[in-house]
Amino acid sequence: MANPGLKKSKSFVSKKSPSVKIISSPNPNEGDEIVHFSHPQHPLAQVHLPFVFTCMGCKEYGAGTRFQCLTCNFNLHDFCAFSPPSIQSHPLHSQHQLIFYAKPSGFLRSKCETCSKATKGFAFRCITCNVEMHPCCTMLYPQMDFPAHPHTMILLPASAIPSGDSSFFCGECQRKRSGRVYYCAICNYYIHAVCAKDMVNGLYVHGLKAPKSPSMLEAATRIATHAVREFLDGLIEGIGESVGGAIIDNFDRDKGGETKSK
Ligand SMILES: [Zn+2]
Ligand SMILES: [Zn+2]
Ligand SMILES: [Zn+2]
Ligand SMILES: [Zn+2]
Ligand SMILES: [Zn+2]
Ligand SMILES: [Zn+2]
């Protein structure tokens, strides 16, 4: 008697990646859910929280928008959740297609061509050249407009600045780091590609820095988990009436109680 077409809200398989099933809507918004191959046991909800997380896909940091399992504290960058199976002619490696791998190759030193950091999880790999790129780094292009600088910056050729060269000054970290470098010719201003990643993964816009030690991240994760609980409690409380109204009610009640007890 039930129409099978109405059984579930628009459930279909994303065209971008065959292994991501979007449960609620074709263009995920806050609160929408997906089933991802890397965490098939629970759905992941798209949430926006201004805290640092470690992406369980690429094993790198992120902040802001993420897909999260609220049962397991499992997080994925949005760009990792929707990694395509392959990238044809990426501007930083246009000669061959890059293929998505969910696990590190396990041989050679798997290091990202762009940021020079190790690839420990999701990565795009050229099997001809044996080079890899983080999902985040595939979003870095030869020319970028970064929020940290008023002019368009260009990615210098890998040969222009030897890895670890300290003859320039990175405007973001002021440290000596490996990997490629963005440059503004107007200001003679430099930013490491590895520092530019924080402008793609949500850290920069939330005023956050990548934690320096794993213990610091653990603390950050604990706080974040707590905040998620509070956030969700708030949502549940707000159902059926305005959240603002509920907050004001509670505030008044608390205040009244205090006055009475005096
Ligand atoms: Zn990731
Ligand atoms: Zn889970
Ligand atoms: Zn990278
Ligand atoms: Zn190649
Ligand atoms: Zn830097
Ligand atoms: Zn400039």
- Whether residue 126 has pLDDT greater than 90: yes
Question: Is the residue at 262 inside a domain?
Answer: no
* Percent of the chain whose predicted confidence (pLDDT) is above 90: 56
Q: Rounded to a whole number, what is the largest CA-CA distance in the chain?
A: 77
Contact 55, 223 (CB under 8 A): no
If you measure from the C-alpha of residue 41 to the centroid of ligand 5, how many angstroms do you get, rounded to a whole number? 38
Rounded average pLDDT over 104-131: 88
Task: Give me the DSSP letters along 176-207.
Answer: ---S-EEEETTTTEEEEHHHHGGGTSSTGGGT
If you measure from the C-alpha of residue 138 to the centroid of ligand 3, how many angstroms do you get, rounded to a whole number? 8
Q: Please tell me the distance from the alpha carbon of residue 192 to that of residue 92, in angstroms, as a whole number.
A: 15
Higher pLDDT, 251 or 86: 86
Write out the two tokens for 173.
């970290």
Question: Is the residue at 130 inside a domain?
Answer: yes
Write out the two tokens for 249.
């009610």
Q: Which ligand is nearest to the CA of 184?
A: 6
pLDDT, residue 259, reads 39
Q: Which ligand is nearest to the CA of 66?
A: 1
Residues 233 and 212 placed together within one structural domain of the fold: yes
Rounded average pLDDT over 105-126: 88
Q: Which ligand is nearest to the CA of 39?
A: 2
If you measure from the C-alpha of residue 92 to the centroid of ligand 4, how many angstroms do you get, rounded to a whole number? 10
Grade residue 168 by pLDDT with cuts at 50, 70 and 90. Answer: confident
| Number of structural domains the chain divides into | 3
Q: Please tell me the distance from the alpha carbon of residue 114 to that of residue 47, in angstroms, as a whole number.
A: 28
Q: Which ligand is nearest to the CA of 171?
A: 5
Residues 73 and 121 placed together within one structural domain of the fold: no
Question: Is the residue at 99 inside a domain?
Answer: yes
Higher pLDDT, 165 or 172: 172
Write out the two tokens for 207.
């005023």
Q: Please tell me the distance from the alpha carbon of residue 88 to that of residue 218, in angstroms, as a whole number.
A: 37
Question: Is the residue at 250 inside a domain?
Answer: no
Question: Is the residue at 246 inside a domain?
Answer: no
If you measure from the C-alpha of residue 36 to the centroid of ligand 5, how many angstroms do you get, rounded to a whole number? 33
pLDDT, residue 188, reads 93
Residues 77 and 102 placed together within one structural domain of the fold: no
- Containing domain of residue 149, as a range? 141-197
Residue 55, amino acid? C
